Amino acid sequence: MAIELPPLPWDKNALAPHISAETIDYHYGKHHAAYVTKLNGMIKDDPAYTGKSVKEIMLAAPAGGLFNNAAQVWNHTFYWNSMAPNAGGAPSGPIADKINAAFGSFDNFKSQFSTAAAGHFGSGWAWLVLKDGKLEVVSTHDASNPLKEGLGTPLLTCDVWEHAYYVDYRNARPAYVEAWWSLVNWEWANARLAEA
């Protein structure tokens, strides 16, 4: 059974003006879709991986093309869910308390996460994770993610590959990161926290 490209959790116009429908068309419709296609091509004749979930493949695959594609399928699905229309702003629910406990305040957390996202050199991802009961901000490179690296349970992510923001913000990654805060999906983060 082939891996499927999951549907977006919202309409492609839903994140405008922060992230345009044009970006979604490329980012989801071309990049994410291509990772799915390539992954399926790589596993179709390999009994070690056929029938496994994306997460299972990603965790089992050694460094290289198979890992890159599987992880990028997983990362992008997590990313779409980390954002929502009519979301953003300060957190509520259990995660708000944990943010205050770990970072002192939401503003401190926002500053740390933004620095990690804007400052990551090259392609990669910024994450909020739960590690040993505490929240942390980490960044990972290229296709890597906190599950693969044992950095904790992912709660939120921001994609900082240039394709995530180039259409809308060109080189101005900090402006894209700022816009991400208008989209951050605290419901998703709280749900991930609850099952962690």
Partner 1 sequence: MKTYCALFGAVSLAVASHAFMVGSPLTGVSKAPASSSTVRMAVALPPLPFEDTALEPLISKRTLDIHHGKHHAKYVTVTNEMIKGTDLENASLEEIVKAAKGKNQGLFNNAAQVWNHNFYWNCIKANGGGKPTGKVAALIDRDLGGFEAFRKQFAADSNGNFGSGWTWLAMDGDKLKIVKTSNADLPLTQGMTPLLVIDVWEHAYYLDVQNVRAQYVDNFLDKLVNWDFVNANLA
Residues 6+ apart with CB under 8 A from 11: none
Nearer to partner 1, 140 or 185 (CB): 140
d(CA 83, CA 96): 17
Residue 46 annotated as lining a ligand binding site: no
- CA 130, distance to chain mean position in Å, is 15
Q: In angstroms, what is the minimal distance from the CB of 166 to partner 1?
A: 4
Residue 97 annotated as lining a ligand binding site: no
Residues lying near partner 1 in the complex (CB under 8 A) are found at: 26, 30-31, 34, 65, 68, 121-124, 141-143, 161-163, 166-167, 170-171
Q: In angstroms, what is the minimal distance from the CB of 42 to partner 1?
A: 13
Closest CA to 74 of 164, 154, 152: 154
Nearer to partner 1, 68 or 185 (CB): 68
As a 3-state breakdown, the chain gives helix, strand, coil percent values, each rounded to 5, of 50, 15, 35
Residue 55's H or E segment, with its range, is helix 54-60
Q: In angstroms, what is the minimal distance from the CB of 54 to partner 1?
A: 18
Residue 32 annotated as lining a ligand binding site: no
Q: In angstroms, what is the minimal distance from the CB of 171 to partner 1?
A: 5
Q: In angstroms, what is the minimal distance from the CB of 68 to partner 1?
A: 5
Q: How far apart are the first and last CA of the chain?
A: 28
Nearer to partner 1, 81 or 159 (CB): 159
Nearer to partner 1, 63 or 194 (CB): 63
Are 116 and 100 in contact, with CB atoms under 8 Å apart? no
**Six token digits for residue 39:** 């992954």
Residue 163 annotated as lining a ligand binding site: yes
The annotated binding site is made up of: 27, 76, 159, 163
The annotated binding site for Mn(2+) is made up of: 27, 76, 159, 163
